[in-house]
Amino acid sequence: MNILRRMLVRGLQNEALNHLVHLANANRLAVLCYHGVVEERLGPEHHQFRTTVSASDFAEQMQWLSRWFTPVSATAVRDWRPGRGALPRHPLLVTFDDGYRNNFTLAAPILRKYGVPAVFFVSTGYIEADRLYWYDELKLRLLAWRGRDIRVPGLSESQLWPGEPGARRAFAQRISAGCKAIPNDARLEYTDYVRRETPEWSLGNAERETIRPMNWDEVRSLANQGFEIGSHSVDHPILSQLDPAELRRELRDSKSRIEEITGKSCFAIAYPNGKTRDVSPAVVAETEAAGYELGFIMDERLHRPTGNCFSISRISAVGHVPPGAMRVRVSGLRGLLDSVFDAETRRR
C-alpha cells in the first residue's frame, strides 16, 4: 500500500494538476513547519537530513511560495474568526519549531528579504541553556553506541545493536520514535541510560552549530524584527505522556517566559511532535485553559476555515523534497490522497 501511495504521489507532481487543486483550495490555510536551516544541503546519511533545509533551498521555496500563496501572520490566523477578520485567498503561514539558532542567523534574513512573516515556536527550557534538544542528543549518542546490545524503550529484553551504518540509523530512529510513545518518566529514564552508556561521546563544533538552540537575545531580536514567538513547551516532552501538573507547567511556564522576554502576548503553541496521539483532549483543554488561542499539530493537511483552532494542520517542509513533491504537499493533493488511503486502511 505504501509503495502504491509513493508511486501515486510521484505521478501527481504535475504542475498543472497541482495548480488546479491549489485553486480549489483557495480558502484553506497552508501552514508549513520548518525546523533547521543550514548553510549547505545535508546528505541522507546525516541525522538532521529530515529536519533541515539549506539556505538556498529555503530562499527558493519562499520565492515560489509567495507567488502561489499570500503569506500571513499568526495574528491574522488568530483573528480569522467569523465577524472578526478574514484571511486573503491562498493564505500561507510559515512556522519554525524548536528554536534552533540558525532560525535567527539564516532563516530570518531570507524571510525579511521576501517579506514573509513567520512564527518561531521555541522550547524555552533549551533557550540559552547549555544543552542540546533531547532528541538530537539521543540520536547522536545512539549513533556513537559501541555496545553489542541495547535496551529498547518499551521492551524488557535487550536487542542486538546492528553493525551496518544504515541499519544503525534506522534502529536509532526506531528508538527515538519509541521514546515518544512511552510515559515521560520512562523517557527520561531511558535517555539517562543512553547518556550513562556513552560517556566517551562528544560533539564537534560544526555539528554543535547545526543543532544549537538560540539564546534569549536572539529570540528578543526576532520579536523586535516583527516575527512572532510561540510556545513549543518548556522541555519538549510529548504532552499527552505527562501527568496533569507537568502538563500545566509545560504550557504555562513557556508562555509566561516568552511574554516576559518579548513583551508581547504568546497566544500560539505548536504541540511537540504534534501527531494525533501526542495531543489528547486533556492536552487541548489545558492549552485553552492556559490562555492560548491557537494550537498547531502535524498532519500534512491544509486547514479548513471551519476547523478547530486548537488543532490547526501543518505540513512538514524539508529541503530535500524536490519542488514537484513540495507542490503536491502544499496544494492539498497529498492530504486528499492520505484521506483516501486512511479511509481505505480503516475499512480493512
Sites of contact with Zn ion (CB under 5 A): 97-98
Least gap, CB of 236 to Zn ion (angstroms)? 6
| Nearest residue (CB) to Zn ion, 98 versus 235 | 98
Rounded to an integer, what is the distance from CA 44 to the centroid of its chain?
Answer: 18
Which residues are bridge partners to 2 per DSSP?
none
Residues 6+ apart with CB under 8 A from 163: none
Least gap, CB of 61 to Zn ion (angstroms)? 20
| Distance, first Cα to last Cα, the chain | 12
SS3 186: helix
| Nearest residue (CB) to Zn ion, 150 versus 179 | 179
Least gap, CB of 133 to Zn ion (angstroms)? 7
| Nearest residue (CB) to Zn ion, 98 versus 228 | 98
The C-alpha angle 220, 55, 59, rounded to 5 degrees, equals: 95
Least gap, CB of 272 to Zn ion (angstroms)? 5
| Nearest residue (CB) to Zn ion, 210 versus 331 | 210
Rounded to an integer, what is the distance from CA 137 to the centroid of its chain?
Answer: 17
Helix, strand and coil content of the chain, in percent to the nearest 5, comes to 50, 15, 40
E strands present in 159-280? 159-160, 228-231, 268-270
Closest CB to Zn ion: residue number: 97
Least gap, CB of 169 to Zn ion (angstroms)? 20
What is the rounded distance in angstroms from the CA atom of residue 251 to the CA atom of residue 269? 8
| Nearest residue (CB) to Zn ion, 98 versus 293 | 98
